[in-house]
Amino acid sequence: MVKIVDHEERRRDIIQVTAQIISKEGMSAATTRHIAKMAQSSLGMLTHYFINKDEIVSGALHWCDERFISQLDTMYDDDFLSLDDFIPLFKSLLPLDEISDTEWRVRVNLLTYSLTHLELVKVRKEKIEFAYAESQRFVEKLQSSGEVRGDIDKVVLSRMIVDLTFGLCINLLSYSIAERAIKVDKKISLMLSMLKPEC
């Protein structure tokens, strides 16, 4: 009997293997030969699914965001958004467990790699603009719900949240997962004290 290959699933498998290599061993280890070996594939099979290494790497970057994007969809149903609903979603972005730790290690490795690969610089910029837009949607909801001060410019606030979050996540990677939660809770508490409307 002839085995039917799900090509999309095979591409996904290769991308996930690549993400794991980047997370655990760094970009220098993510050679096409090593990716093929770890994916139990051949170099010829890689070139069948991907034009070049940058396309595989770009796929790994998209893989990092899939889980979060799926969570976003559930938050758009209601007009009202409370901070009690938003904070768990925000914390799920941070490297506070094994899955998000892997995602952030991939992002940080790819950030430095993309600086010398023009096609990936474009992908990174698209990701940043997407993050700004999503952040602004949440800021607008929180402001219209009266959960966040309305006198702060929504564009400035949403971009500041994204930029500070990225920096926070990079710094958190220097600590064990067990140490990170305490550091995050203190920062969130401070952020909320500045953003909540005065009663």
87 pLDDT higher than 70? yes
77 pLDDT higher than 70? no
Mean pLDDT to the nearest integer, 32-56: 91
pLDDT at 139: 92
CA dist 169 and 153 (Å) reads 24
CA torsion sign, 13 to 19 to 22 to 24? negative
Write down the domain spans for the chain.
54-195
Confidence of residue 3 (pLDDT cuts 50, 70, 90): low
* CATH classification code of 54-195: 1.10.357.10
CA dist 128 and 166 (Å) reads 10
16 pLDDT higher than 70? yes
Q: 171: closest CA among 97, 108, 118, 115?
A: 108
